[in-house]
Amino acid sequence: MSASTEPTVTTDETSRPDAAGSPARPVRDRRPVLTALTVVVAVVCAGAAIALTAGDYGFWQLSGLPEPAAWSRALTVATTVLAVAATALAAGSLLVGGLLATPQASGTVDVHGYRAVRRGTLAAAVAGVLAIGVGWLSVAESSGNAVAELASAGPFGWLEPAATLQEPLGWALAGAVLLVVGALSAWSLSWKAIAALGVVAAAALALPAAVNPAATGDAHDWSGDANVLRAVAGVAWLGVVAALAAHRVHGGRLDPRTVSRARGLLAVTGVGYLLGEIVFQLVVTSSGTLSGSAYVRAATVAAVLLVALVPVTALIGTALRDAPAGPRTGRLLVLGAVLGALVATAGVATIRLVPPRFWVADDSALQTLIGWDIDRPFSALTLLTEWRWNLLFGTGAVLLAAVYALAVRRLAARGVSWPVGRTWAWMLGCLTLVLATSSGLGFYSPSMFSVHMISHMTLNMLAPILLSLGGAVTLALRALRPAGRGNPPGPREWLLALVHSRVARVLTHPACAAILFVGSFYVLYFTSLFDQALRFHWGHQLMNLHFVLVGYLFFWPLIGVDAAPHRLPHLGRLAVMLATMPFHAFFGIAVMSSSEVLGRNFYAQVGLPWIDLLNDQKVGGGIAWATGEIPMLLVMVTLVVQWSRDDSREAVRKDRQADRDNDAELRAYNEMLAQLRRGG
């Protein structure tokens, strides 16, 4: 580390003069106090969660499983609270170290970022062990086995029952991800890698949140998405606040640019958590009594604490803007971290309790399988009238369109024009995402293979083509201002780091992108993976995400406006398109000609009376064959047009060059021919 990275205000060696100009007095080292406070808050939170869940055995009463011992249940609750807290500290520390602390000129974190990274590394390792512990204890609770009985099966004996129980498996996978994050963050000092690991650490809790038992039954698509949103956003918010408090205690500074980014990060994650929390609670308390329930008591405590936390968050934002180094800012950050930890504790208590709706729910088979009832066949009318808003993709598409429009407006305010065609392409791409996931297509696609294939081809072929023609990366690079020399990297630098990363270079390589684009069809549909993915809402969401991402990775280097890491010549792009088209056609033909129903077990359970499964599959195969060729034709036309325009621009460039140098290139060529004639 260079000497310039040393903090200006650190520990008890630092001194400051008093108002009268008397000799400087040492500043008190508050790090032991902060460490002690962290331990106390962790113990209080674990005890509070145990108290909120004590005496309630609703899960075991509904499932018919034997009730676990009180100490075993208390241990599970306490371990869950500590796992969430450690995950938050890991994610927040890595995000602060990678995104908010000023890196060195070499691209590695500075001394304050290094402290945050080491803190995040330790927290990730602890969180990984605790999350795996939660998975182990959850197997005992969910399978009816005593903890001692499960322990006698050996260190890995619990993995077999965990593979059939969703929530324990989710916690075990989250623990594995966090352990990997801890190992990688201990090895890397690049701010880019650290920031990416912070995002992964926060996203790790999406795994157990997506399979939480509360996200089942009627409207479980909304409750599942909302639970994922509140888990990831809440962990990120709490972690960033706690990491900022530790950052200040260790002498870290926040310059104005960093302050604005910290406030923006807190605002985005805070709003995301609030939206997820509100939607989740509305779904799980939509029916049933709201009095005398342990769940309602825990949710009420969370709501009261959240009401107190909202103004504190606003005060933190104001203090960061006005006096980031002031003592009031430090006190508000500590207060926000404590209140946030208590809110998270009440949230953990709620996921260990049975929501009111499950005591009175009488869900139909369709509500259990897909989240809603279907009472009439799919048609052109139902395509327009039967809407089911996709909380993640529908809301995400609206946000993408809004951010794009704001960027275009910012350019217009500077007097810079942006092609209207690109704006239309992006907006149509966002509209396509909404229609494919939230219109009648999204309503029927989980229960009908043919409609699923329409949605699939729309997300995989049409939407990525339109989005790649929108040139969002180019627009962002023009709208965002550079951070400037000596300043910490900002959103523009984050985007450039992502585009030029090794991962992006590998994934956008034409060979890799083509294999992912075409090969994933066969792996998904002609293996047992499709039948397994159909059973869960998170499986549908992952399929949708996969379709969009692999389509964008394929079309971006071919016809995208943005400069890709790998840019083939026009003839090479045309060759890639011609090489992939037969595989698409063959996939549709293979589906049509198959005599075995894909996803038979799931579709038979859905049991729509007007559907013949094999005929519906043949229709779906025909849709894949026919609709796949139309976007390909659009891409071919776009490639030819781009080729022609590039040739025209090159010709104009050469003409201008010839006018400037009196056609020196042509004269040199003629002179070369003349010398050859004289020599021969």
SS3 labels along 51-84: HHHCCCCHHHHHHCCCCCCHHHHHHHHHHHHHHH
Torsion sign over Cα 360, 364, 367, 372: negative
Q: At residue 13, does pLDDT exceed 50?
A: no
Residue with tokens 């009648």: 440
For residues 557-582, give the mean pLDDT. 80
SS3 of 108, please?
Answer: strand
Which residue type sits at 510?
P
Residue 145 to residue 166: CA distance in whole angstroms: 16
Give me the half-sphere count of Cα atoms (radius 13 Å) on the Cβ side of residue 641: 10
Q: At residue 655, does pLDDT exceed 80?
A: no
Cβ count within 10 A of residue 476: 18
Residue 559 to residue 646: CA distance in whole angstroms: 12
CB 45 within 8 A of CB 89: no
Residue 428 to residue 146: CA distance in whole angstroms: 56
Residue 310 to residue 321: CA distance in whole angstroms: 17
With CA atoms as reference, report the closest residue to 591 among 544, 521, 543, 648: 521
Pairing of strands 25-26, 15-16: antiparallel
- For the entire predicted model, the pTM comes to 0.86
With CA atoms as reference, report the closest residue to 95 among 541, 488, 671: 488
With CA atoms as reference, report the closest residue to 446 among 437, 459, 435, 458: 437
Q: Where are the alpha helices (DSSP H) in 445-569?
A: 449-457, 463-470, 472-479, 491-499, 502-507, 510-514, 520-525, 529-534, 537-559
CB 370 within 8 A of CB 221: yes
Which tens digit of pLDDT belongs to each residue from 85-141? Answer: 999 999 999 999 888 887 887 888 888 889 899 999 999 999 999 999 998 888 877
pLDDT of residue 28: 59
pLDDT of residue 146: 63
The conformation of residue 190, written as its DSSP 8-state character, comes to B
CB 97 within 8 A of CB 250: no
Interhelix angle 472-479/393-413, nearest 10 degrees: 50
Position 658 confidence tier, pLDDT thresholds 50, 70, 90: low
Enter the tokens of residue 281: 């609670």
Position 627 confidence tier, pLDDT thresholds 50, 70, 90: confident
Distances (CA, A) of 337 to 205, 234, 239, 240, 241: 19, 12, 8, 9, 6
For residues 637-641, give the mean pLDDT. 75
With CA atoms as reference, report the closest residue to 403 among 464, 456, 458, 467: 467
Residue 548 to residue 470: CA distance in whole angstroms: 15
Which residue type sits at 484?
G
Residue 73 to residue 461: CA distance in whole angstroms: 49
Residues 6+ apart with CB under 8 A from 160: none
pLDDT of residue 7: 37
Q: At residue 654, does pLDDT exceed 80?
A: no
Torsion sign over Cα 364, 365, 366, 370: positive
Q: Which of 5-14, 43-52, 326-335, 635-644 has the lowest mean pLDDT?
A: 5-14
Q: Which of 89-93, 191-195, 287-291, 398-402 has the lowest mean pLDDT?
A: 287-291
Q: At residue 588, does pLDDT exceed 80?
A: yes
Q: At residue 444, does pLDDT exceed 50?
A: yes
Residue 340 to residue 196: CA distance in whole angstroms: 24
pLDDT of residue 57: 78
- Among residues of the chain, what percentage have pLDDT more than 70? 86
Position 168 confidence tier, pLDDT thresholds 50, 70, 90: confident
Residue 418 to residue 421: CA distance in whole angstroms: 9
Q: In angstroms, how far is CA 440 from the centroid of its own chain? A: 25
Which residue type sits at 462?
L
The DSSP string of 3-14 is: GGGS-SS-STT-
For residues 264-273, give the mean pLDDT. 93
CB 448 within 8 A of CB 386: no
CB 127 within 8 A of CB 87: yes
Longest CA–CA separation in the chain, Å: 106
Enter the tokens of residue 618: 């043949």
For residues 22-45, give the mean pLDDT. 70
